[in-house]
Amino acid sequence: MADRAYITPKVLKWARETAHMSADVAASKVSVSAEKLQEWEEGISLPTIHQAENLAKAYRRPFAMFFLPDIPNDFLPLQDFRKKDARPLGTASAFIIREMQQKQEWISEMLQENLGEPLPFVGRYTINTDPREVADDIIKVLKINHAQYTGNVIKDWIDKAEANGIFVSRTSFIHSRLKLDSEEIQGFVIADVYAPFIFINSDDWAAAQLFTLVHELAHIWIAESGISNETEISTGHKDKLHPVELFCNEVAANALMPSALMNNIDRKLLATSKSVFNVAKKLGVSSIALAVRALNLQLISTIHYHKLKNEIELDFLEFKKKEEEKMEKQKTSEGGPNYYMLQLQKNGKLFTQMVLDAFRGGLIEPTLASLLLNVKTNKFSSLESRMNL
């Protein structure tokens, strides 16, 4: 008979619930019925050690945690700024939030222990400030020059953010069978004064990712940590969004498409969806975002905006079809995304470099460095070789 694991039932249940996993799904991980799992969670019977180990792996919790006498302290949940009718956060979202909270806590503590200085822009303003003022300050601090983008606008913004001590992570999956959904979560932010951390769901389109990034920067400038969705410029339905989200969307619109820049655009370039697309591409925003911004600044009429909107939607459907065909071809072709590049993007260059520096400086053990970067220590050189790509 297999050895039983004398786990604490309420801790087992807590671990499942904080993984946002239903009893049916959790039970399937260890090939038992949901009723049997419920017995374990109520203390009626006990899982085997092997079953408990598999549940710990599924919940992404240390196996030893199941034997604690009481529910342990965990990270405080981030404020949910999404709409009230937003889809409940799933397991993938719960895991990525917890992972980033762990990394953010570690880097913040390390910086404080090494006499790091608090960042002056975190919480510099409030939601009552004019969004244009906040946008101008973000541009000033990050030294953004809209006329000098390299062509990869989101990379330009991320590089500038990280150069100023803001950690940025991007990914769309936990593993191959557990992916993030941009309909559920577009991004979140931890607005810490020593180590502000931004996460962006890369399942989204590039332009949407950029808007989310700048939206989350606005959260840092007003020191409002939380989970975001509906990060986009809009002409209506504003009453459905949280006031903080509305404010941060306004800041992002002003930072990515400043009124001075918009006013200098030749009106001929706002005439058709094709010309709008060309302007939008240079700024890293979507065509519809540019059209909405032009409408809000009264650069185009409402009638012309709706004409553009219809054209843009048709163009997008065609673009989406081509992108899906391209993705299908990529799936059938040999190879895939480079593992180390994916980990670098997920951890962010700034975080990766700081972990590597701490490891090589003897400040942290190899096991911790490997855990933080999800890369074996003997493969750190493979990770580092992609830092400047």
- The per-residue pLDDT for 389 is 72
Distance CA 156, CA 170 (A): 14
Which residues have a Cβ under 8 Å from the Cβ of 269 and sit 6 or more positions away?
Answer: 275, 276, 278, 279
From the list 81, 49, 79, the residue with the least C-alpha distance to 64 is 49
From the list 190, 188, 191, 189, the residue with the least C-alpha distance to 123 is 191
- The per-residue pLDDT for 151 is 87
Q: Place 314 in a pLDDT band, splitting at 50, 70 and 90.
A: very high
- The per-residue pLDDT for 358 is 94
User: What is the token pair recorded at 220?
Assistant: 């840092």
- The per-residue pLDDT for 84 is 84
**Which residues of the chain form CATH 1.10.260.40?**
9-67
* 332-355: average pLDDT: 85
- The per-residue pLDDT for 312 is 94
Residue carrying the six token digits 């180390």? 340
- The per-residue pLDDT for 332 is 56
Q: Is 313 left (phi over 0), alpha (psi -120 to 50) or beta?
A: alpha
Residue carrying the six token digits 């606005």? 218
Distance CA 387, CA 206 (A): 20
- The per-residue pLDDT for 327 is 66
Q: What CATH number is given for 9-67 in this structure?
A: 1.10.260.40
* 99-126: average pLDDT: 95
Measured CA angle at 45 (ends 41, 46), to 5 deg: 80
* 157-183: average pLDDT: 92
* 315-325: average pLDDT: 83
- Residue 309 CA, distance from chain mean position: 28
- The per-residue pLDDT for 232 is 84
